[in-house]
Structure 1
Amino acid sequence: MITELIDYRSIPRVSNSDLTRLKEECLGYTPSRFVPQRAMQFGRAFHSHLLEPESVGGIIDQLLPDMKPVESGRLEQLTEQVRRDSFCRRYLRQSDRERIILFTDPETELACKARMDMVYTSPKKRNALILDFKTTSARTQSQFLQSCYDYDYDRQVAFYVDGLRHADSREWAQTRQFRFILIGVQKQKPNRLFAVDATSIPNFVEYGRKKYRFWLRKWKEQQVETVNPWLRQAS
């Protein structure tokens, strides 16, 4: 197991976020086309507040210094909403938080990585549950479900589930069932929680898998295009 002391971003492997950036580059999107920078910063601060509360002060100073008092209160409110939920509270106690998974994609043979909010593995390792928290502006369950498609969460779900299946550690090699639950935390009052069992939606994971494999192939193609001119010169 990789310790939290390792800087995840420095690990030289392909992440789901890398695939997002590749997609934006290939399609000519700006990073803020779908998710404004401010919303991304707030989402990162929320994750740290919930999963790494000991570091939240530093995170807010780095990401949201100009609105520290206001945002700190909002973060605390959202975090408490999650902790009051019996399902979330149970897995906050029992799961590995911010778990880093290293794996090799069997199709492209690319070295990949994933950092999961929470992973719970049953005692006999027959079942694995991934929980991922998303701050959201959705006001209804159906709106949050739609956002799961709009923001490529299906690709993330497939990438993470397959990451456990193909983990270099082989920790989940004998696991029979993988579940992935997306939990939306409403940013506006009344700060409702929305839960989507992504692995139970017909074709959701399969479609996400097609997406991430498409972009992994693109990633590999770019690597080959970068290396080939040097190979030609060397020959």
Structure 2
Amino acid sequence: MASALQYCFLILIFGIPLHECAAVLLNGSCIPVEPCFDLSVMANIAERVSKDVTAADGEKILLRHSSFDKIRKRKNLHSCVLLKIISLFQNVLEKTKKNDIHKGEELNHHVELIHIMDQLKNCVYKTKNRCRNLYEMSNKTPSPMIWKKDMTPNQLAVLQLQKLKSAKSKLNDVHIQETVMDELKTLYLYMQGKGFRKNTRMTKEKHGVQ
């Protein structure tokens, strides 16, 4: 038992990239903890769906990573924003499903990605009423007239929510659809961070859910 604990400790200290090790031992071995969802699966399917989409011109819907990283580091902000991002992308995928160019393949990647969006919603941390407060703020607060690099995480979250809301109000606009489909290629990068739950099993055990 002592040697097994020492082994786990070394993995955690030196960051050996084998598996995430849960704080649980079974038969003297560490139990590998699987992520809530393997984002590489999403990245591969999104690439297949959007590989023939021409890069959209004009302003992007999702903030640049340098700005979004500030949101990502705040779990509650990240979670609330992620839910709106997933909702928008799912809506656009539903809108463009009839134009799916992969129907001849054995697996309909477009439809599969729609199902993945549902799974991703379950992987986002639940934040109770905090999202509602943030959403109300984004509806009432005008966009800050300062450089994004000078914005606080809250201001950037509000700005991102406003951009998502604006895009959602124009779902029938082909340009908006093309922009979303183009941004699908890097969407998985926005999911990574404190607002994305690592493991559903551990979360359920923590709250006594069977």
| Fold agreement, TM-score > 0.5 | no
> Looking at CA atoms only, which structure, 1 or 2, has the larger radius of gyration?
2
| Structure with more of its chain in helix, by fraction | 2
Structure 1 length as normaliser, TM-score?
Answer: 0.23
More strand by share: 1
